[in-house]
Amino acid sequence: MNQLACKEHATLLYIDSSLRSHRGHHANVCEAITSAARSQGHRVQIAISQKKTDACEGEKVFSQDVYCNMKRNPDAFVDRMRLKLASSRVSREVLPILQRTRPHAIYAHSVNAVVCEGILQAIGKAFLPGGAPFFMAEMPFPCEPSERYFYGEQLRAMFERLNGRAAAARRRSQANLLDRFAPITVNERTSDLLSQSTGVEIGVMPSPYAVRSRRGQEHKHRSTPLRIGSVGHQSEHKGFDLLPAIIESLGNQKHKIQWVIQHQDESNPATLEQLKTLQQKGFDIELVHRDLTPSDYEKLLLGLDVILLPYKPQRYQSAISGICYEGLSQGSVVIAPRHTTVGKIVHEFQPETPQFEDWTSESIAAAVRKSVENADPIGDAALAGASLYAETNGPDVYARRIMSPALQDLALIQPDRSVA
């Protein structure tokens, strides 16, 4: 990058229509990326849900989150009209902040076709042809065929419309928004499936997920007892209901284990009662139900020697896991299903870590047992993997990639790009 570009700072508009609280996955990613961009000298504006809490940074913009229209089939006339109206609503909602902030770069986290197309419509209204900001949209959702969700189909229909408009613009020798638009994801498998579904190349970015602290020399010798955690939002497909059987089957280990299980109000009450019964039988189980701030959540993660992801393999053929990346970044051992995107990610940075083959308590417990019996060498390898992860991933790397096109624009000293 030339010297002029390095001296310039750009304005980033960070968009997340589903962000409404300062707690949880969306908040953690927003805080990580925007803090990194600010530390690099950029100005940052944040546009989020109208339902946001007062403690959450950002301007109230979006009336619906990204999940609202997932069930609409773009090949059905009524649904297609409703999707069109929804995109128009997004355009109206985001246009004022575009006109006011005039960003050099726009990053939209966790979008669907409705949000993406609405933002593109607003960009077309707010900026002159050829002067639009660079727009990067993260598309994280699985796109396998489903009777309930039409994520991939909606994106396919959107890109067909956009490509048609772009072709018409090229025939008239006019600039088009697709030249300033980068659809991306953070996983190669998801990228491949989305590219096949949409007929458009979906780029792959490094992972923005990382915790602010890494397990260091004080964790070189594993805890006594060894702390194994299942954290984050618990559900059936994330293996919550398998935990009691897994814990009970590992009760005779010569190595002491302390289990740390996070749960929510909506977690299966029957499973929770089983866990409490195991507590009464003498199993060392810490049940975490309190509402955690981002710093409290990171502290909880940092205290785990092993992070268990007992996920249903069928649900993670293209899906990713933020907790997986966070565990890798801090150097905890991460146990995941082998034949999944999550398992592939773990193997890249922790090739020595055992993974489970089948979605059964026996198979998962076997992987945990092997990890416990070889805690020191596997744990040392996980710490080494964290250093490797940090070289190519994390919020600092991610923010630089987001802002790079904007800095290149500034180096060219472009004229005023705003329509109004």
Domain count, the chain: 2
**Structure-token pair, residue 186:** 């953070």
Q: β-strand 11-15 against 105-108: which pairing, if any? A: parallel
Same domain, 44 and 112: yes
Closest CA to 325 of 310, 355, 345: 345
Is 303:174 a contact under the CB 8 Å cutoff?
Answer: no
Does any domain span residue 127? yes
**Cα–Cα dist 28/45, whole Å:** 16
In-domain check, residue 380: yes
Q: Looking at the structure, do residues 62 and 115 belong to the same domain, yes or no?
A: yes
Q: What are phi and psi of 18, to 5 degrees?
A: -100, -5
Is there a single domain that holds both residue 179 and residue 246? Answer: no
Single-letter code of the amino acid located at 228: I
Residues 264 and 300 in one domain: yes
Closest CA to 311 of 283, 284, 345, 277: 345
Contact, 361 vs 315, CB < 8 A? no
Residue 420 lies in a domain: no
**What string of DSSP letters covers 314-350?**
GGGSS---HHHHHHHHHT-EEE-BSSSHHHHHHHHH-
Q: Which domain holds residue 133?
A: 3-208+394-411
Tell whether 38 is covered by a domain.
yes
160 lies in the same domain as 235: no
For residues 278 and 165, state if they share a domain. no
Do residues 256 and 368 share a domain?
Answer: yes
Instruction: Write down the H helix ranges in 8-76.
Output: 25-39
- Looking at the structure, tell me whether residues 279 and 223 fall in a common domain: yes
Bond into 225 cis (ω within 30): yes
Q: Do residues 268 and 404 share a domain?
A: no
Answer yes or no: is 416 within a domain: no
In this prediction the pTM is 0.85
Same-domain status, 97 and 226: no
Amino acid at 186: V
Q: Looking at the structure, tell me whether residues 185 and 291 fall in a common domain.
A: no
> Residue-wise pLDDT tens for the chain (420 aa)?
333 334 468 999 999 999 988 777 788 899 999 999 999 999 999 999 998 877 678 999 999 998 899 899 999 999 999 999 999 999 999 999 999 999 999 999 999 999 999 999 999 999 987 789 999 999 987 666 667 788 889 999 999 999 888 888 788 777 788 889 999 998 888 888 888 888 889 999 999 988 877 776 555 555 689 999 999 989 999 999 999 999 999 998 888 999 999 999 999 999 999 999 999 999 999 999 987 887 888 899 999 999 999 999 998 888 888 899 999 999 999 999 999 999 999 999 999 999 999 999 999 999 999 999 999 999 999 999 999 999 999 999 999 999 999 988 887 645 555 554
CATH number for the domain that contains residue 85: 3.40.50.11930
